[in-house]
Structure 1
Amino acid sequence: MGLSWQQGPLSAHPVGRFLTPDPLPERLLYAEPLRRRLRVRFGGDWIADSEDVVLLHEPGRYPVAYFPPADIGAGVLEPEDHVTVHRDLGATEWFSVHRGGASARRAAWRLSDLPSYAGMLRDRVAFAWHPMEAFYEEDERITGHAADIYHRIDIRRTSRHLVVRDGNRVVADTVRPRALYESGFAPRWYVPRDDIDPAALEPVERQTFCPYKGLCSYYDIGGRSRAAWSYEEAWPEVHLVSNYVSFEPDKVDVWLDGKQLALEPGQSVVPHGIDRGFDVDEVLAHT
């Protein structure tokens, strides 16, 4: 989640609202300098390397990075006879991308008929995530999708009493859970393994990937599919929940300080869509 994804302030279904006397436009776009070095790799080579990237936030998408032409390698872009229309920003010209014997059609684009108010994007080129080999900030690979500088995760230790039940069976009982607060989402509560009945968790083969937390493993509980999950080896940035387990309150009964929790609207993660979503094998190959 960030400005425009999930329940962000510029998304289609924000969790909050702007306090203005007049209604805002149905769609708000926001562009800003990234102020980080961003690089693109394709065909085994760096095809773009810039400290002058502009990010475009628009509803329902992860941020899109636009590079100045001077920071894109010579011969990388080949214009195509293909033009589409962006619903807010006008005509879009498409390019094939070439480097080192590799090529990809419709792998980059430029907004070619921008309205005057969007001048900071003029002449800039964006690269599609799926065809590119990788995007990097400095020497660190950006995994999953474009990094959203407004996405934040805070983890807090707490002594609140959390109990998880499957009918009459106590699955977990702890006074040392950890609360994970993630931008745009309601809190998620993670329980240490020592406070869980291990026999209640039935591992599921399928894993998923979160760009901010790592590979996620799932568990069935009493026949309830994927009622719990765990980042067994979470990214270092969220190590405080590594190998802890969280539970879906709409599938099992989760009680916090005597109050039963419910799944709040907007908690379901929206698929990546047209932006890059790594599969598990690809993540493992790079970790």
Structure 2
Amino acid sequence: MAVRQDLVALGKKLVEQGPVKTLHTPRRVRILYNGVYIADTTSAVYVWEHEYYPYFYVPKSSVKEGVLHPSQHSNDAAFQTATLRVGDRSTDRVLIFADKGIAEKGKELEGLVRFEFGAVDAWFEEDTPIYVHPKDPFRRVDVLHSTRPIEVHVNGIVVAKAESSFHLYETGLPCRYYLPPTAVDRKLLRESDMATACPYKGIASYFDLVLDDGDKDRFKDLIWWYRSPNLECAQIAGALCFYHEKEEVEILLDGEVVRKPKTPWS
């Protein structure tokens, strides 16, 4: 039971304090586990457990019969931890909320099931896979081509220069500037093992930047790029974006220094 204590704490918080917000959706949501669609619904609910992005919770009635095994030791009548078991595989990263009796703040959760996003094999909205987490319906991404000249300085040295770039605007985040891959001297770049994933843009690869032959001035994971971005961000394929939050990075746009952003990654 120790492994589920974080789930117990989450369930308790949600039923007592309520989620940040919820939103019902008519999208068809399906969950795949061990070759079986264990949930299939057009009545899923976006649930913001925190302010950053939502999860999908699904009605208990949409879950395949016989795959959920509630804990026999629930310590809260408003929710239970449970095990999902299909064939020879199982995961205990599941919360089931009671059909009724939840206090007002958590009432939207009645009758819903929370499957840990990464504990199952795949999620689908209609027939489109969901990566990392569900996209926030209140967030959008715009990619705009700009012919304002741009320069990037690292430790006071000009390392990139271009006559145009793509400006990526993502709700709640600073503008990101994607430069042509030829805007940077390739001798300064070293491939990194780092990779990150974004449900809006896709899987990012990274470069270290090296300012001298001896790797003394090596800046880890300072630049990222997308080989095959998602369709809505297709324009940034191959383009390079510098980690503007880093102290050593300065960006000049049309000759003016761009204010350094403050983000959770600063």
Same fold (TM over 0.5): yes
Q: State the secondary structure of the residue aligned to 2:200.
A: coil
Query: Per-residue deviation at 1:111?
Result: 4.7
Give the corresponding residue for 1:53.
Answer: 44
Query: Per-residue deviation at 1:47?
Result: 0.9
Give the alignment's TM-score, normalised by structure 2.
Answer: 0.80
Query: Structure 1: 5+ residue runs without aligned partners?
Result: 1-25, 270-287
Counterparts in 2 of 1:68 and 1:104: CA distance versus 1, 3 Å:
same
Counterparts in 2 of 1:142 and 1:164: CA distance versus 1, 3 Å:
same
8 Å contact from structure 1 (residues 144, 210) kept in 2: yes
Note the aligned Cα RMSD (angstroms): 2.4
Give the corresponding residue for 1:232.
Answer: 227
1:185-264 correspondence to structure 2 within 5 Å:
185-221=173-209, 222=211, 223-249=218-244, 250=246, 251-264=248-261
Q: Is the deviation greater in 32-41 or in 114-123?
A: 114-123
Query: Per-residue deviation at 1:110?
Result: 1.6
Counterparts in 2 of 1:267 and 1:29: CA distance versus 1, 3 Å:
closer
8 Å contact from structure 1 (residues 80, 94) kept in 2: yes
Counterparts in 2 of 1:266 and 1:27: CA distance versus 1, 3 Å:
farther
In 2, the alpha carbon distance for the partners of 1:259 and 1:169 equals: 16
Q: Is the deviation greater in 202-211 or in 104-113?
A: 104-113
1:1-40 correspondence to structure 2 within 5 Å:
29-40=20-31
Counterparts in 2 of 1:163 and 1:61: CA distance versus 1, 3 Å:
closer
In 2, the alpha carbon distance for the partners of 1:168 and 1:122 equals: 57
8 Å contact from structure 2 (residues 134, 199) kept in 1: no
Q: Deviations over 1:69-108 (max 9, x none)?
A: 22111112111124366xxxx8421111122332222424
Give the alignment's TM-score, normalised by structure 1.
Answer: 0.75
Which amino acid letter does the alignment assign opposite residue 110 of structure 1?
Answer: F
Query: Per-residue deviation at 1:267?
Result: 5.1
Which amino acid letter does the alignment assign opposite residue 184 of structure 1?
Answer: G
8 Å contact from structure 1 (residues 27, 59) kept in 2: no
In 1, the alpha carbon distance for the partners of 2:254 and 2:170 equals: 21
**How many residues were matched structurally?**
240
8 Å contact from structure 2 (residues 96, 111) kept in 1: no
Query: Per-residue deviation at 1:186?
Result: 0.9
Residues 1:141 and 2:129 are matched in the alignment: yes
Percentage of matched positions with identical amino acids: 27
Query: Per-residue deviation at 1:168?
Result: 5.8
Give the corresponding residue for 1:23.
Answer: none
Counterparts in 2 of 1:61 and 1:164: CA distance versus 1, 3 Å:
closer
Q: Which of 65, 69, 83 is the matching residue for 2:74?
A: 83
Q: State the secondary structure of the residue aligned to 1:173.
A: strand
8 Å contact from structure 1 (residues 83, 91) kept in 2: no
Counterparts in 2 of 1:183 and 1:82: CA distance versus 1, 3 Å:
farther
Q: Is the deviation greater in 57-66 or in 67-76?
A: 57-66
8 Å contact from structure 1 (residues 45, 100) kept in 2: no
Q: Is the deviation greater in 134-143 or in 176-185?
A: 134-143
Give the corresponding residue for 2:154.
Answer: 166
Q: Which has the higher helix share?
A: 2
